[in-house]
Structures are given as structure tokens and as C-alpha cells.
A and B are shown apart, each in its own frame.
Chain A
Amino acid sequence: MSNNYDVIVVGAGHAGSEAALAAARMGAKTLVLTISLDFIAQLPCNPAMGGPAKSHLIREIDALGGEIGKASDACAIQMRKLNTSKGPAVQSLRAQIDRVLYLRYMKRVLEDQENLDLKQGMVEKILFDGDEVSGVETELGLIYQAPKVILATGTFLNGKLIIGEYTEITGPDGMKPSLALSDNLHELKLPLRRFKTGTPARVAGKSLDFSKMIEQKSWEEPLRFSFEGEYPSLPTRSCWLTYTSEKTHQIIRDNIDRAPMFIGGIEGPGPRYCPSIEDKIMRFADKERHQLFLEPTGLETDEYYVQGMATSLPIDVQMEFYRSIPGLENVEIMRPGCAMEYDCLDPTELTYELEIKSFKGLYSAGQLNGTSGYEEAAAQGMMAGINAVLALRDQEPFHLTRSQAYIGVLIDDLITKGTNEPYRLMTARSEYRLLLRQDNADRRLTEFGYRLGLISEERYQRFKNKMVIVDKQLQRLEKTFLPPSAELNQALIAANTTPLEHGASLTSLLRRPQLDISFLRRFDSELDALPLDILEQIEIETIYAGYIRQQSEQVERQRRMESALLPEKAKYEEMRGISREAAEKLDKIKPRNIGQASRISGVSPADISVLTIWLEQQKRKRRAN
């Protein structure tokens, strides 16, 4: 068998899996190399998928033809809807995932995928032909050749586990670390940095007193991430909410001098949005208690994940403070909480395609790029996979803008602004939140997925039909008037809104704050016959039409700035009238267009004006020649 591939993916976590699937599904001969075949798409941290922004990412990946949505649906043991009353843009799904089932599911999908080989092997060296990638070499000296290599090494690079004073060079969950590859990247003069992440302990369910906690059940209503495929069908499990006590805080304060972050055991910055419990207690000293959830990790195990209580304090301190929490008085720790430190890249070294600027054909995705989270990793993996194949075929790269998708926000933030801590996506990071909803992810992206060859003809036709219905109904709602019947007026009064004197359009009724689409369905048989997902879109597009239009106008202005392309070879240091700071940043980031340039910190509106004029000047000079 030949060792020649089109694309090699190093790592089979969430980034690696999506990268490989995208490449193989687009028809490229793809190889995935992983340190352990027993841990494909492992969930080493919390056993959950989704939440605000993250659930949006899952839907977007799904609309493009990725796997994470279907895998989550297939392995969900709890599904909840969050933010239901806070507006359509931030509504999201959150699922508890059976970890074991998830990695089995994803392994099988990779195994069954045409054009894809899945092999165990530790990549130690990236091979080059000049400045261009030509393949990889494993620890056994095996050489695999490919013009495109995607690095998706997660937290394995120089991974170090820290619990109190104890440290160990290791990968997550006791897997082997990747050391030689880290050295190799150093040799390639890629600037690596150290980031930190942390997890809480896993505890035995039988040692918990659930009667002292608040139960959080799975929703009855059928919910799913994927726009196609099955609704979750596994038995469900609850999460349990409890709070730290004053004693917990006291124990942690008394032992804070033994925390690695205080004794200097950790070099890298940790993410602020998921601080360790010791970090929370020191930084937010006036907060009386912190909430935590006991999350089930699977159907066939009694291990619970103590969400909200990440720690790297010594094991004796952990045992003491976990037991100071109501419901955890007799808790048995199965695996201690720990911090993980690892090497990662500065994402401003990357292009929009996630290709490393200095090496053609070498891509990087996931935690290696300084992000955190399975969903963020999967999104990058998918985009790197797609773009590697497009580059292979000399086709136009595939980009998503900030107004098209959270995937666009994520990548643009990373490569334009960089990050000084593990980056987590939040809906607050998007300036067009009302456009980037999870309900319309299919509308935004299915067309792209189809054109890339990642969405089947059958799914595409179903999608087209859905959109036709939504658009038709939106028009019909405006033109359909309900007469002021006694029955309607009675219902209106019951809903605390004014009765009609003349006929009113369905649109105008739907826009009344007191009414919703289920109200209209009682008076309109056509609406009554439509499925829920279509009704949801109709409702949102109608109620928020004003806001949506306003954001669309902003997008249009932004689009014009994005279409003013800056040449890759522009020498900003030599450019007249640009501030020094701006020139340095521009030279480093090498923005693709004026829009991206405007988002670089230190680049002022005046600098942008100058750039605009410079562009025009160049254009005229070219024309004159």
C-alpha cells in the first residue's frame, strides 16, 4: 500500500476528526495519524456539548456537512434549551454526552469514511520540500507523504499535568505526550507559547447525596443539534446543582500557598472564563458561594464530572474541600482535578485558511491555535480540511465572514487579534448576533456545504424546499388579514392586548409583544400545518425584522470594506502617513483587506483612510503603466 496521500491530519480529536472527514468527503485521499486509536474525539474535559455560541458553532458545522452535530445527537444523554426567554440570537442547546459512546461513534465514522485511512502513530517530524510541506515522519521512522498536512495536536505538545507539587509530562487522560514534534516546531522557528487548562475531579455517583442538590432534567421536548438525522434516543440522565460553602472557601484560602499558580508551578495563562476554583475564590473574594453541577459522564459509568470546580490544588486539599460541599460530604474522588499545560501557536501566524504563513501546505487547527473547547476545535478543523483540499486543487479558498457565521468570527478574531489566553467563543464576540442565530445556520451555510460537496443532493433539496416555504409564508403573513371576529377578539383580550376594529395582517399581530406564533396557528390553518423549525424561523424573522434589517445594513457597509483587498506584499513600514504602531502590526498580520485591517488593535481610522488612498494610488499607478 502506498504511503502517498493528499492530506495528512495529525491528531484525531475534534479538530482532527472534522478536518479529516471534510477532506475525505471532498474526495481527497486522507490519512489521520493519532497517538491512540482508543481515544478518537475524546472529551477529556466536561462531558457536554453546546451552550451559547458553542451550540451555534455545532449547527454551523452541521450545515456545512460536518459530523459534530450528528455525533452529539447520537450520544446525548440529556438535552436542554438555554436562554429561551432571552432572545432568538442567544438561544442555544446544551447536551450531556456519553463520553465512551461518543468516541466509539466518531471512530466508526472515520473508519467507515471512504478515502480515509485511520492509523495509530506518533508524528515526530514534518517533512519539507523547500518551503513546502511534503509529509510527516512517525516515531517508528515511517514516512507518509502529502502536499498538505494539518496539525491538530490539541494539548499533547509538551503536555504537562500539574496537581499541587506533582507534575508529569503526559498527554491528557494518561496518553503519551508529543515531545519530538514540539522540538521539531521549535526547529522550524515557529514561536510556541505555553497555555494552561484545567479540569475538576471526577467523583463516584454512589458517594453523592443527591437529596441535597437541585435536579436538572433533560427536556421532554425533542431537541437536536443536527438539521438532519435522528433526534436523540438514548435514555436520559440528570445533572445536579449545588453550591460551595463558606468552609470550602476557608479550606482553599488556608491552602492557597500550595496552589501551583501561586508557587510558580504554572507558566501559561489560563482561561479567565473557566478559572479554577482557587482562582475564583481569590479573584472574587466577596462572592459568598459558587455554584457547581454534578454532570453524568455516561450511561455505563458512575463517574460524575464536578463542573465549576476545576482545581490543581494538592490531592489532600482537594479531598478536603470537595467534602465541604453540601451533597458531597462523603464524596470519593475517582480522578483528581488537575491543570494541563501545553505548547500552542500564536494564531496571528496563520492565514484565513489556517495555513501557517511561513510554510506552504502546513495547516493548524484547534487547541494548538490557542482556543479552548471542542466546538471551537471542530470548526477550525473543518475549515482547515476544506481549505487544504481547495488549495490542492488550485481552487479559491473558502472563507466565512464575521457576518456569515460564528466560524468567521472565531477565525477572524484569532488571526487578526490573536489571543493571550485560551480563546473561547461567546455570542458577545459577534457584532451581528441577530443574524447569526442557530435556527438559521442552515439558511446561512447549507448552500456552501453543498457546493463544496459536503452536503448530499437529497439534503440540499430538502433544505431548498424548507427555505421556499419560509419565504413564501413570510410574504403570505404580510398579505393575509384576519377579520375582527368575536372569537379572535376574545382571544386577544385574554392575551392582554387590544381587540381589533378592522382586519389586521398576521405579521402585525405576530409583532405584538403579547402574541406568538402558536397564537396565530389557532386562527390560521396554513400555519398550523407547518413543522416547528419552520415556524420558529418565521416567528423570529417577523418579530425582529427591524433589528435584522439594521444589522444587515451594517453588514453591507462592512462588506464593501472587506472587498477592498490589500496586496500580500504591501510594505507598511515604508508607507507614508501610517502611524508606526499601525505599520508594525499591519506588517505582522498582513491583513487581506481593509475590513480586516480596521480590526487590528492599534490601527486607527486615520490609518485606514491612508490605506484606502494608498490602494487607490497603487491602482492608478498600475493603470498608468
Chain B
Amino acid sequence: MIKDYQTIAAISTPPGEGGIGIIRISGSQALAIALKVLQIPGLRGKTPKVRRVYHGYVVDQSKKEKVDEVIFFYFKNPNSYTGEDVAEIQTHGGIAVLRKTLELILAAGAVLAEAGEFTKRAFLNGRLDLTQAEAVMDLIQANSEEGAKQAMLQLDGALGRFVRKTLSRILNLIASIEVSLDFPEDYDPLDREALLAVLAELEAELRELLSTFKQGNLVRQGLKTVIVGRPNVGKSTLLNSLLGEDRAIVTATAGTTRDVLEEYYNLEGITLRLVDTAGLRQSQDEIEMMGIARTRSAIDTADLILWVVDAEEDLQDEDRELASLIKDKPYIPVINKTDLRHGQKIAADLKDLDLNREPVMIAAAPGQGLDDLRQAISQLVFAGKALAKNTPILTKTRHQQSVSQAMEQIAACQQAVAAYLPEDCYVIHLKDAYEALASLVGEGSYDEIIENIFAQFCVGK
């Protein structure tokens, strides 16, 4: 889809946790769209002044709910980075809030910017000089190639399969309507009830897919998986073994891991955000104290906990303390260093704690028992959750936007059918739905509809 002349929006801070996030909106509707998602007490219904900083809230109007406290300002064309009207919203609440805000902005009428699009507009509007033209061209082509590569990766999975299947179903619907319109003497119109049934099914499926995005914050950012345990039980070694690389600093000195380290690990399609924590130990060391405080907060926000104990040692008070901290969380007890000692003693101690969880025996350093651990994690994550391995999951805002557009169009089509509007109106919605989804997989063009008519239907003269 060519996005020129439309109002675009994107997150313009690099992805990462915490700090300020910035969303830029550029185009003739920038201000109007921003005001749709904002509540700015200082304005009292007036138009905001150019280049003036306002304090306000991003509000989800559908739920009458404040999403975040934000700073807002806007620039009038041509005096902005892109040379168009530009609105900027700064959020504070981390990536989830940032994405939610972007979703609201897109729902309010902006389209997601392509990579390099702000720069492209800046050039076209004379905000960048001639020497930068070629750099911009290179950037666009490079981004497009990268995007294509990403799409290819994405499309091999469950989501790609789902989208392709849905596209072909929509295409068949369009073709069967079109053929009855263009060859009325050869083909009867589609049965209304049958059409409504298929549309309802499509809408339900798309809605379901969308819900994986809304509830799937966890999956989107990775399940926050915290590795806890007393100092030097081998937490970092475990992390490294899982990742297969030396990521955290590992020494034999207790308390080496001062900071919370995060690594991403893909377990059968679900991303685990592995967090290695400083050992939980009473300490006077101030720097380490900070690390321990973070560990506690890491546990609080964890989606999954791997609790590591040492096979060479007995269960200690600190372990018991940890056990009580994590007892209401999904966790897996992991007995490490079983290559040095078989760990039966500590396994029995764990049993005495009445945890009701089967510990996994591993030896992280030589990499033994990791498959068992993977399996245990997989069972804990997938069991009882809808996120089965082959279920498509939406993880990107761009995808969410496409699917959401497609669903709206399918719903609008249902309304058109229900309101007894004629068939040619249905096709308008179905084509829009088709295009929205097709953009997601980067394939599918209008010509395919024509091809499909010929391939499927015997039309004669």
C-alpha cells in the first residue's frame, strides 16, 4: 500500500524497557488524531498552541480508561522535522503503554509508518538537502529488503499459515461474488445465509487472533522468566547453558552477578525473557543490595521462575525464604550440579517442604538435563493455556493493525449483507479486508482476484 498523503505514526524511540517513549505522528491529520487519544486538562477545549508543551493523559475512550500520563506538543508545517504537521507524545510507562498508545493512534486514523518514511517525507518536503537524497533511497530499499526477509521468517510459522488460509478464503468469496456480477447469465448470486455464515466464521477467527495480541503482552515481550537461587548455585551457568553462549559474567566468587541480566530464548515458538538475578543473600555490600532489591521486584513481576539449588549442599534458610517468596508463582525447582553429587538429599529436603512440584535434575556446566528442563518449562507454559504450539499469535503492532482492519471490514460486510445492500457493496469490504491481510504477508495483489475468477469458474460466452 502506498502511504503517501496519509497521516503516519510510529514509535520513534528504540525498543527497550523503561524510560521515556516517544510516538510521532506526521501528516495533515496529525493534530486531530493526537487529540482523539489525549485528554489535556490545560486546554479546556481550545486548540493547543504550536511548540508549547502540554501535560495530559492518553485515554482509551472505548474503556474510559487512562492509559498513561504523557507530555504532548506539536509542530505546524512546514516547520517540523518532516515538513508536515507533526504531533509528538511522550509516554513514561514502558513498552506496553507505548504500544497501547500507538494502537489507539492507529485506531484513530493514522497508518503505521514504513521504515524510513519520516525521513522520506522530510526530504520530499525540503527539510533535508539534496546530498541526503541518495542516502534516503538506499535506506528505503535496504529496509524493504530487510522487511521482506523478516516477513519470510514470520510467514513460515503458524501465523503465516493462518493468514494465507484466511486470504484464500476471502479471495474465494470475492471471486464467487464477482463471477456472479460479471457473468450473471452463468452464475447465480451467492446464497445470503451461506455468505453470512462464512463471514461470521471469518470474523470470529480474526477476533480470536486479535485477542492473542491483547492478552498476549506476555508473549509479545517474552515470558519474563526469572532465575533465582542463593549465590553461586549456578544461575548464570544455567542461563549460559540455555543460551549456549557466555552472556553473564560467571566466576566462582559468590555475588558476581550484580545486575539483572536479560536474554531472550526461544522455546518452541514462545519467547522466554530470561532474567538472571543477583543471588538472594543478606549482604552489606551496597551495590549488591541494589541487586537483591531488584531480585525481589523481579520475582514480583515474573511470569515464570526457575529456582536453582545446589546438589552439593543441603537446603538452607535462604532457600526456604526464597521458596516462600515464590510459592504463589509458576515456578520450577531446579537441582544443579548433579554431575558432582547425585542430589538425592536435597531432593528429599525439597519434598519435605511440600512444594508439590517435581524438581528437575541438571548439571548446567556440562549441559546435562537441559532437555528435561526445557520440557518442564514447556509443560508449565503451555499446559492450561490457549497458546498451543500451532496457534497463531500476533506479536507485532503492524500485524495487529492489519488484522484489526481486516476484521472491521469483514464485520462491515456482514452488516451490508444484513442490511440487504447489493452484492457489489460486499466486495468493497472484502477487497479491503483482503488487502489489509495481504499487506501483512507482503503478497497478494488485485490481479489475483481476476486470476482466481478464471481458475475457479467456468465462464463462457
Which A residues have a C-beta under 8 Å from some C-beta of B?
A: 45-46, 51-53, 82-83, 85-90, 272-275, 277, 280, 283-284, 287, 290-291, 293, 307-308, 310, 417, 426-429, 431, 433-434, 513, 544, 547, 550-551, 557, 560-561, 576-579, 598, 601, 604-606, 608-610, 612-614, 616-617, 620-621, 624
Identity of the chain B residue whose Cβ is nearest the Cβ of A271 in the assembled complex: B461
Q: What's the Cα separation between A52 and B459 when bound, in Å?
A: 13
CB-defined contacts of A576 to chain B, threshold 8 Å: 134, 137-138
CB-defined contacts of A88 to chain B, threshold 8 Å: 422, 424
Known: A46-B461, A428-B178, A560-B5. A86 touches B143 (CB 8 A): no
CB-defined contacts of B424 to chain A, threshold 8 Å: 86-90, 427, 433-434
B120 within 8 A of A: yes
Identity of the chain B residue whose Cβ is nearest the Cβ of A197 in the assembled complex: B461
B191 within 8 A of A: no
Q: Please state if A86 and B422 are interface contacts (CB–CB under 8 Å).
A: yes
Q: Please state if B422 and A87 are interface contacts (CB–CB under 8 Å).
A: yes
CB-defined contacts of B136 to chain A, threshold 8 Å: 613
Q: B143 touches which one: A434, A550, A606 (CB < 8 A)?
A: A606
CB-defined contacts of A606 to chain B, threshold 8 Å: 114, 140-141, 143-144
Known: A429-B450, A609-B140, A610-B137. A598 touches B2 (CB 8 A): yes
CB-defined contacts of A551 to chain B, threshold 8 Å: 428
Q: What's the Cα separation between A572 and B319 when bound, in Å?
A: 69
Q: Please state if A427 and B4 are interface contacts (CB–CB under 8 Å).
A: no
Q: Please state if A273 and B461 are interface contacts (CB–CB under 8 Å).
A: yes
Q: Please state if A273 and B184 are interface contacts (CB–CB under 8 Å).
A: no
CB contacts under 8 Å to A, within B156-185, are: 178, 180-185
Could you tell me how many residues of chain B have their Cβ less than 8 Å away from some Cβ of chain A? 52
CB-defined contacts of B183 to chain A, threshold 8 Å: 52, 273
15 further interface pairs, Cβ-Cβ under 8 Å (given A427-B181, A560-B4): A52-B184, A90-B423, A274-B459, A275-B460, A284-B458, A426-B450, A428-B453, A433-B428, A578-B141, A579-B141, A601-B447, A604-B144, A610-B140, A612-B4, A613-B137
Q: Please state if A428 and B422 are interface contacts (CB–CB under 8 Å).
A: no
Distance from A579 Cβ to chain B, minimum over Cβ atoms (Å): 7
List 25 interface pairs A-B (beta carbons < 8 Å), by A numbering: A52-B184, A83-B184, A85-B189, A87-B421, A87-B425, A89-B424, A272-B454, A273-B461, A277-B460, A287-B458, A426-B450, A428-B182, A428-B449, A433-B428, A434-B424, A557-B4, A576-B134, A576-B137, A577-B137, A598-B2, A609-B140, A612-B4, A614-B133, A614-B137, A617-B130
Q: Please state if B446 and A431 are interface contacts (CB–CB under 8 Å).
A: yes
Q: A610 touches which one: B141, B181, B458 (CB < 8 A)?
A: B141
Q: What's the Cα separation between A612 and B458 when bound, in Å?
A: 42
CB-defined contacts of B130 to chain A, threshold 8 Å: 617, 620-621, 624
Q: What's the Cα separation between A87 and B420 when bound, in Å?
A: 10
Q: What's the Cα separation between A207 and B374 when bound, in Å?
A: 81
Q: What's the Cα separation between A284 and B447 when bound, in Å?
A: 22
Q: What's the Cα separation between A52 and B461 when bound, in Å?
A: 13
Identity of the chain A residue whose Cβ is nearest the Cβ of B115 in the assembled complex: A606
Q: Please state if B460 and A52 are interface contacts (CB–CB under 8 Å).
A: no
Identity of the chain A residue whose Cβ is nearest the Cβ of B454 in the assembled complex: A272
CB-defined contacts of A614 to chain B, threshold 8 Å: 133, 137
CB-defined contacts of A428 to chain B, threshold 8 Å: 178, 181-182, 427, 449-450, 453
Q: B460 touches which one: A51, A274, A417, A612 (CB < 8 A)?
A: A274
CB-defined contacts of A579 to chain B, threshold 8 Å: 141
Identity of the chain B residue whose Cβ is nearest the Cβ of A623 in the assembled complex: B130
CB-defined contacts of B425 to chain A, threshold 8 Å: 87, 434, 544, 547
Q: B447 touches which one: A89, A90, A417, A544 (CB < 8 A)?
A: A417
Identity of the chain B residue whose Cβ is nearest the Cβ of A92 in the assembled complex: B184
Q: A307 touches which one: B6, B181, B461 (CB < 8 A)?
A: B461
Q: Please state if A613 and B4 are interface contacts (CB–CB under 8 Å).
A: no
Q: Please state if B138 and A577 are interface contacts (CB–CB under 8 Å).
A: yes
Q: What's the Cα separation between A610 and B424 when bound, in Å?
A: 36
Q: Please state if B185 and A82 are interface contacts (CB–CB under 8 Å).
A: yes
Identity of the chain A residue whose Cβ is nearest the Cβ of B428 in the assembled complex: A547
Q: Please state if A577 and B422 are interface contacts (CB–CB under 8 Å).
A: no
Distance from A583 Cβ to chain B, minimum over Cβ atoms (Å): 12
Identity of the chain A residue whose Cβ is nearest the Cβ of B426 in the assembled complex: A87
Distance from A22 Cβ to chain B, minimum over Cβ atoms (Å): 28
Identity of the chain A residue whose Cβ is nearest the Cβ of B189 in the assembled complex: A86
- One digit per residue, 1 when the CB lies within 8 angstroms of any chain A CB and 0 when it does not, for chain B 136-152 equals 11101101100000000
CB contacts under 8 Å to A, within B1-26, are: 1-6
